[in-house]
Amino acid sequence: MRELQRKKKILAGLGKAEKAAKRRKYKCIVPECNEDSIKSHSQQKKHQLESISEDSQVVAMKKSLYDVFNRDVNELLKELPIGEVSRFSGYCNQHDTSIFSPIENGNIDIQKAEHNFLLLLRAISHEYATKRGMYDRQKDILFKIGEYFSYEGRRNYEASLAGVKYYVEKDAPYYLSRVFRILESKKWSEISFNSFVIERNLGVSSTTCFSPFRENHSEWMRENFDKVQPFLSFSLLPESNRTTIAFVWLSEFDDHCNEFKEICKDQENILNILNTYALCESEDVCIKPSVWGKLSKNQRSEIYRHMGGRDSLPGAEHIPLVLE
């Protein structure tokens, strides 16, 4: 009975925090812009998401903590309308349109440094906007229902919150000042990339930023706690009959990104490599429903085990292949 009461209180608190988060307004992330941000898509609805949708639905991650907690099943991904997935409060209407227009509507030319830069900008904007929202929501949850957490649960929660705070207040402002300086000066030589096209639709769409150290990330952080964390962006952009793949990073992180420079579309295990990054390093992955539907319950559980952690788990390259 007591346990049931506790669960009820937690659910009520999560519901409230969820509602408050929906109402919260954020400024456009362009420096000195004072407009409110709108909901932008980190993955384009037209062309990109449409190309993997069935009945206008794709399989994507449930964003609501309330949902995750309320259903005692471990399905992290579910079918959602394409209008609702991969959205984030990042830019005002004007900046969202003007900054990204060169890569909209299937016009992306992955040979161009500028287009690679815009993919990096979109990925880092999405990461930052998601984390700033997450930070406020998690603080709110701790305030509202922290007293119902177990001792261990609360400790883990606070540690995770501290990580998000560090990112939002220290790392992200540095990254954003760098990318907006590049956008303004058009010095594309300050980014590096390895990008290519595979001539078919791989059935999966994803935009993410991750650490080049992957499973050794925390170890690197412990030894370099005063340094900015290197990161790279990864975009997997399907269209009706091809998929564009882009790994992009700031040139100052070149020394840490050699592994990504060498990835080549003709290498034998290319699909497994892309599969790992799209599923294990991204919380923003979208999958064609019939493709996801082919996996068994065990295969899905194995993928879930690798999703969403701060550090990558070893063995991520052996998860079931989802890409077509």
Binding site for Zn ion (CB under 5 A): 28, 30, 33, 35, 92, 95
**What is the spatial distance between Cα 103 and Cα 228, in angstroms, rounded to a whole number?**
29
Residue 239 one-letter amino acid = E
CB of 319 to Zn ion, least distance (A): 38
**What is the spatial distance between Cα 85 and Cα 49, in angstroms, rounded to a whole number?**
9
CB of 100 to Zn ion, least distance (A): 12
CB of 99 to Zn ion, least distance (A): 9
CB of 26 to Zn ion, least distance (A): 11
Greatest Cα pair distance in the chain: 63
CB-based contacts of 48, cutoff 8 Å, min separation 6:
205, 237, 238, 239
Q: Which is nearer to Zn ion, 40 or 205 (CB)?
A: 40
CB of 237 to Zn ion, least distance (A): 24
Q: Which is nearer to Zn ion, 95 or 115 (CB)?
A: 95
Residue 309 dihedral angles phi and psi, to the nearest 5°: -80, 160
Q: Which is nearer to Zn ion, 28 or 85 (CB)?
A: 28
Which residue, 201, 169, 195, is CA-closest to 287?
201
Q: Which is nearer to Zn ion, 95 or 288 (CB)?
A: 95
Q: Which is nearer to Zn ion, 38 or 77 (CB)?
A: 38
CB of 121 to Zn ion, least distance (A): 13
Q: Would you list the DSSP string of 15-31?
A: HHHHHHHHH---B-SST
Q: Which is nearer to Zn ion, 99 or 236 (CB)?
A: 99
How many Cα atoms occupy the beta-carbon half-sphere of 186 within 13 Å? 3
Burial label for 155, CB within 10 Å (0-12, 13-18, 19+), is exposed
CB of 89 to Zn ion, least distance (A): 12
**What is the spatial distance between Cα 177 and Cα 95, in angstroms, rounded to a whole number?**
16
Q: Which is nearer to Zn ion, 92 or 202 (CB)?
A: 92
Neighbours of 210 (CB within 10 A): 18
**What is the spatial distance between Cα 31 and Cα 175, in angstroms, rounded to a whole number?**
12
Q: Which is nearer to Zn ion, 30 or 198 (CB)?
A: 30
How many residues does the structure list for the chain? 324
CB of 104 to Zn ion, least distance (A): 17
